[in-house]
Structure 1
Amino acid sequence: METTTARIILVPGFWLGAWAWGDVAERLRALGHDVTALTLPGLESDSSAPGDVSLEDHAAAIEAAIGEGPVVLVAHSGAAFPATVAIDRNVERVLHSVWVDTAPVVDGAAMDASFDGDALLIETNWDDEFEQGSMRDLSDAQLDEFRRRAVPQPAGTVRDAARLTDPRRLLVPATIVCTAFSAAEYRSYAEEGMPFLAGVLEHRALTMLDLPTGHWPMWSKPEDLAAIIDTVARAA
C-alpha cells in the first residue's frame, strides 16, 4: 500500500510511553502511513530520575521527531503542553495537529504551576470516580495493564509553563477529538473560562469531532481513532 506524504507522530499523555499507541499505530501502518509513537524523556519503563526532566525536554523530543517534516502531530491529554511548544517552533513542518481529548494550550499555561515533588503518580488520581468516568469503556485487562505499566510523570512537565512566540501556530489546521466531553461541551467550557481550554478560543483553524468514550480512546476505540487520524493525514 502506498505510504502517505506526511509522517504521523503519536505523543502519549501523562504516565504513558509509546506502548500506549500500539493498536492505533498498527492500524495506521496497515493503512500505509509512516508512524512514529514516542516515549518522552522520563517516561521510559526504567526511568530513575524523573525529577530532572522538564517540559522543555519533552518539547525538544517532539521537535526531534518532527525533524524536517512534514508531519501530522497527534497529542493526547497532558502532551498538549510540549506538543503546542513544538508546533510553535515548527509551524512550517506541521501540516495538521490532532488533539485527543485535549486542546492546544496558550502562552504561559501550565498543568499545575504549584505542583510540589519530583513526580506525579497515577495513584494520586486513581479512585472509583476516575475509573468509572475517565476510564469509561476500558476492559478489566486494559485497566490492569495501565496500572502495571504507568510510570511517574516528571514534575517539571506538570509544573513548567509553555512559552509560545509564533502566532502562526494558530493557523496550523487542528482537529480536537472530543471523547470524555462532547464538542459542544468543550466549546462551552472554554467560553466559561476553563484555563486548560483557552486555546480553543484562540485557535483560528480548528475542527472539533465527537468520539464518545473515556479519556483513553487509543484503548477503548482504537479503530475509530485510527480512522480519524487516517482521514486527517490523507487530507493534510
Structure 2
Amino acid sequence: MATYVLLPGFWLGAWAWRPVTAELRGHGHDVRPLSLTGLGERAHLARPDTDLETHITDVLNLIRYEDLHEVVLVGHSYAGSVVIPSVADRIPERIAQLVFIDSGPLPDGMSQAQFSPPEDQARNAELVRTAGHGWQLPPPPWQELASRVSGLPADMLERLTRLSTPQPWATATTPVRLTGAWEKLPRLHVLCSFPIEQVQAMAATVPAFRHMTDEGLTYRDLPGWHWPMFDRPGELAAILHEA
C-alpha cells in the first residue's frame, strides 16, 4: 500500500480527482486529494493575499498533522510546476516520489505566470483586472476547451463548469524558492499535451524546461487533454498505481 497526496491545478479542488481516487483506493492505497486554499470546498477562504506560500503550507500541514510518510506527491499543472517541488524541498524526508501530471518543475525564482507566453501573460492580467476583481483569474471556457478532445463525459463537463472556481492570482505571480533538496527524489512525468521528444527538445533551449532532462526521472505518455483526470482517469490511476 502506498500513500498518495493528489493536488489539482488552477481552478480545481479535490473533487477533480474523484475517479482517480476511487481507483487507487480500490487497490488498497491511502489516497488524500487536497483542495488548496481558495479552491473547491475551500473557495470561501480565498483572499487577495492567498499566494503560493499559502498553498505550500496547505500541503505541509496535511503531511505533518496526518503524520504521513513515504508520500507519493502528485501535482497537476500549476501544482506540479511549483507546489510539489516546494513541498519536497522543505520536507524531502517525508516524500517517496514526485509525480508531475502534464507539468514539470519550474526553476528557482520563476513564477507560474512567467511560464506562459507574453501574450498569454497580458491576456491573463487583463482578465484578472476586469473580471477577477483585481486578484482572481476566472476559469476558462471549459465547453470550448473540451470541444478539442473526444470522450469527455457530458456529466463530467457539467461538473467541471459548475465546480471550478477563480484562481487567486497571487498564487501565479509568487516566484518559487528552491534550495535543490527536492532534486534528489525520484520523479515521474506523465505527459499528455506534448510527446516526450518535444519536451526534451524544448528543455535544451528553454530555461523553464531545464529540469525536464535531469538525471533520475522517468516519463510516461498519456496522450489527450491537459486534464487527464477527466478524459482518461482509469489510465492515469493505473500509471499512479504502478508508480
TM-fit CA distance, 1:142: 2.1
> Partners of 1:16 and 1:154 in 2: how far apart?
12
> Partners of 1:218 and 1:190 in 2: how far apart?
26
> Partners of 1:110 and 1:127 in 2: how far apart?
28
TM-fit CA distance, 1:179: 0.7
The structure-2 alpha-carbon separation of the partners of 1:225 and 1:39, relative to structure 1 and needing over 3 Å to count, comes to: same
Structure 2: runs of 5 or more not aligned:
115-120, 129-133
Equivalent residue runs for 1:21-170 within 5 Å: 21-45=17-41, 46-47=43-44, 49-67=46-64, 68=67, 69-80=69-80, 81-112=82-113, 115=125, 117-123=134-140, 128=144, 130-133=145-148, 137-165=151-179, 167-170=180-183
Asked if 1:20 is matched to 2:8, the reply is no
SS of alignment partner, residue 92 of structure 1: helix
SS of alignment partner, residue 177 of structure 1: strand
TM-fit CA distance, 1:136: 5.2
Q: Decide which of 187, 191, 210 is 1:198's aligned counterpart.
A: 210
> Partners of 1:200 and 1:59 in 2: how far apart?
22
Give the alignment's TM-score, normalised by structure 1.
0.87
**Is contact 1:78-1:102 (8 Å) kept?**
yes
**Is contact 2:187-2:216 (8 Å) kept?**
yes
> Partners of 2:27 and 2:70 in 1: how far apart?
18
The residue number in structure 1 matching 2:230 is 219
Indicate the structure with greater helix content. 2
TM-fit CA distance, 1:48: 5.5
Structure 1: runs of 5 or more not aligned:
none
4+ residue runs of structure 1 moved beyond 4 angstroms? 113-116
Aligned pair count reads 222
Partner amino acid, structure 2, of 1:224:
E
TM-fit CA distance, 1:204: 2.7
> Partners of 1:50 and 1:186 in 2: how far apart?
35
TM-fit CA distance, 1:200: 0.9
Partner amino acid, structure 2, of 1:178:
L
CA RMSD of aligned residues (A): 1.9
